Amino acid sequence: MVNHTIMMNAMIGLHAFHGVWSIVIMGVIGASMTQTGSASGAARFMFAMCWLNIPTLIYLTMSPRFPRTKILAHPYWLMGMNTIYSILWFAAFVSLAVYTNGGISDGESKETDENKKKAGGCAVFQAGTGETEKACTLNKSSIILGVFMWFVWLATTGIAGYAAWYFKQHTISPFDDYKSPSHEIQEATQAAFSSNDDYAPLNRTTPHQQEDFDEYDTEASRPPTHGRSGSVASSTYNSTYSYGEAAHPGRPLSWAAEREPYAGIGGHAPIAPAHGDAMMPDIPDDYSYRGGGARG
């Protein structure tokens, strides 16, 4: 079983080596280009590859790390970038090696100094290319460094190739698949049916929402107030909202038989019957409180 965490850390470490090694090669090949004579196209190509490494390494290392950029870090694209740079670095050091060896070969046939011809190698390089012997030595060093760079790109290409194969088999990048699917399903099931508010998504409420719920529960559970001690507002509120049906702005309340009608300030208003024909109460005969006499 491949440890994907170790693989991801190895990938990041190899890309970090790419960045440091690019600076080293840039310094060596740059010193070769500043020597007497015009710099070769092969040397310029390797120097340009060092600069091109910078944006590519930023993409390869940063895009998989952030949720908003993961869409750019498709396993096939990562494999493609690593493959392209493996080919380019192979072409870079091979072209510089061909140029350097060609200059040495041409110098052996053109060199007139017997001592230099006898020494061979970079001693006759100037006769073949016009550059100094030091430029030839720096080119050889750059070739060796370029070979190491190519091997590291091959390693990252292999890891990216495995990630692309894994993605094809499981439709997920191995760098994101740290847990087995069964383990994730088990955790999700436990969280859904958990009574703990910290783990149950359906029970999660904000502190302000919880305060509102507590206040509503307290008001709704308060028994109805009747008599002279109760106010109109409290009587109306309790008679309307405290009989098993929660109040809601968008839900009309039904007038059931068991619902208590409005009782007024003193609680002495007549109550209509729940069933049958509604009848008005008898008119009292005594109107003495109004200053009139009894009806005769």
Which amino acid would we find at residue 109?
S
Nearest to 153 by CA among 58, 80, 44, 69: 80
With contact defined as beta carbons under 8 Å apart, do 262 and 236 qualify? yes
Residue 185 reports pLDDT greater than 60: no
SS3 state at 251: strand
* Long-range contacts at 239-246 (CB < 8 A, ≥ 24 apart): 239/263, 246/220
- Taking a C-beta distance cutoff of 8 angstroms, is the pair 259, 238 a contact? no
* Mean pLDDT of the 145-171 span: 93
The sign of the dihedral angle between the CA atoms of 113, 119, 121, 122 is: negative
**Rg of the chain over all Cα atoms, to the nearest angstrom:** 44
Contact by Cβ (8 Å): 89, 150: yes
This model's pTM is above 0.85: no
Q: What is the predicted pLDDT for the residue at 281? A: 57
Question: Which DSSP category does 172 fall into?
Answer: S
Q: Please name which of 155, 153, 175, 154 lies closest in space to residue 164, comparing C-alpha atoms.
A: 175
Two structure tokens written together for 195: 């009574």
Q: Quick: pLDDT tens for 26-37.
A: 999 999 999 988
Whether the CB-CB separation of 131 and 31 falls below 8 Å is answered with no
What is the pLDDT confidence band of residue 119, given thresholds at 50, 70 and 90? confident
Per-domain residue ranges of the chain: 4-173, 205-249+259-268
Sign of the C-alpha dihedral computed for residues 236, 241, 243 and 249 taken in this order: positive
What does the alpha-carbon distance between residue 125 and residue 111 come to, in Å, rounded to a whole number? Answer: 9
Q: Cα separation of 266 and 251, whole Å?
A: 30
pLDDT-based confidence at residue 183 (cuts at 50, 70, 90): very low
Decide if 54 contacts 22 (C-beta within 8 A). yes
Q: Is the pLDDT of residue 135 over 90?
A: yes
Would the pLDDT of 208 be above 80?
no
pLDDT at site 203: 47
**What is the C-alpha to C-alpha distance for residues 149 and 49, in angstroms, rounded to an integer?**
11
pLDDT higher than 50, residue 195? yes
DSSP secondary structure string, 98-136?
HHHHHHHHHHHHH---HHHHHH-GGGGHHHHHS--HHHH
Q: What backbone torsions phi and psi does residue 124 show, to the nearest 5 degrees?
A: -100, 5
pLDDT tens string 235-263: 444 444 444 455 556 655 555 445 555 45
Section 204-231 average pLDDT:
51
